[in-house]
Amino acid sequence: MDSPTYLTTREVADLLRVKERKVYDMVANGEIPHRKITGKLLFPQAEIMGWIEGEGRARPIERPALVTGSHDPLLDWALRESGAAMATLWNGSRAGLEIFAEGRAALAGLHIPGAEGWNTEAVAEQGLRDAVLIGWARRTRGLILSPSVAEMVKGFADLRGRRVVLRQEGAGTTALFARLMAEAGMTPADLITPASPAHTESDAAAAVAAGEAEATLGIEAMARQFRLTFRPLLHERFDLLIDRRAYFTEPVQRLVAFMRSDTVAAKAAAFGGYDVSGMGTVRWLSP
């Protein structure tokens, strides 16, 4: 039988011949390689064996040149224009974070709301090693509206009874939408939603422009691109989670160098709804 890629807490305790409580203590102190995926502790077997054999730390993971997580139009454009030549998988913040934690991507774009702000809590909970979270942009998010309802929808509560296109499960926008619904005293039954969610910011705005929905929760840049009415609600942080080893590879270095250019600042201004003054700032650093 093939050995498992990840070990459970009990399996690690049996391997080390200690009690499970000791394994939890080692995790809390950052002494042992681990991941926290969907709230559950898992231990990469290859890293555990390297750690046992005296390497003292997790074996570096050779990550693919892949950017995953939440879709951002400015980032999407920058990856092409910089010549970074990295593949993209826009699957939402939470799914992207899990793929990153599993070592299957070099970067992840995130905008996950938390009690104390954006992204840092969600990242810290993963128990990641050798990773850094850097600022990409502050984005203005609000309601993108079709011309037919633009004068009738002034705030979030006015979405009751409207056709609203949602984002996929695990997207940062989905978590934010749920919070805004709770604050407005609304439930999913108050909305009319298409069967299929939108998977990117541009897809959501395009659905409104095509008449498939009357509204969506999107960013100002997309409302401008599709010439739709925009009702701002808040400012959010979009950050990049980067593996430290991958940071020094040529594709990521191309992107990092491009981030500092006037070209990116000019494009952000043209898009609208972006504040890139904190781009490149370190927001969180793993042990």
Convert the pLDDT of each residue in 103-113 to its tens digit: 899 999 999 99
Please state, in angstroms and rounded to a whole number, the distance separating the CA atoms of residues 203 and 165: 10
Other C-beta atoms closer than 10 Å to the C-beta of 17 total 7
pLDDT at 283 over 70: yes
Please name the amino acid found at residue 273.
Answer: G
Task: Return the pLDDT at 60.
Answer: 53
Helix (H) / strand (E) element for 139: namely strand 131-145
Please state, in angstroms and rounded to a whole number, the distance separating the CA atoms of residues 245 and 44: 18
Q: Tokens 């808040």 belong to which residue? A: 234
Tell me the pLDDT tens digit for each residue of 15-42. Answer: 888 898 888 888 877 778 888 776 788 8
Please state, in angstroms and rounded to a whole number, the distance separating the CA atoms of residues 208 and 144: 8
Q: Tokens 């990242």 belong to which residue? A: 123
Tell me the pLDDT tens digit for each residue of 134-167. Answer: 999 999 999 999 999 999 999 999 999 999 999 9
Residues 20, 22, 26, 28, CA torsion sign: positive
Mean pLDDT of the residues in the chain: 91
Q: Out of 55-64, 91-100, 248-257, which region has the weakest mean confidence (pLDDT)?
A: 55-64
- Model confidence at 58, pLDDT cuts 50, 70, 90, reads very low
Once rounded to an integer, what is the mean pLDDT over residues 116-123?
93
Higher pLDDT, 191 or 22: 191
Contact 141, 176 (CB under 8 A): yes
Task: Look at domain 6-55 and name its CATH class.
Answer: mainly alpha
**Token output for 60:** 């570096």
Q: What is the CATH number of domain 61-287?
A: 3.40.190.290
pLDDT at 122 over 90: yes
Once rounded to an integer, what is the mean pLDDT over residues 260-267?
95
Tell me the pLDDT tens digit for each residue of 46-56. Answer: 888 878 876 54
Q: Helix, strand, or coil here: 190?
A: helix
Task: Return the pLDDT at 198.
Answer: 95
Once rounded to an integer, what is the mean pLDDT over residues 109-118?
93
Task: Return the pLDDT at 141.
Answer: 98
- Same fold across 6-55 and 61-287: no
| Domain boundaries of the chain, sorted by first residue | 6-55, 61-287
**Token output for 261:** 């250019």
Could you give the C-alpha distances from 2 to 6, 11, 42, 104, 273, in angstroms and in order? 12, 15, 17, 20, 51
Task: Return the pLDDT at 15.
Answer: 87
pLDDT at 1 over 60: no
pLDDT at 45 over 90: no
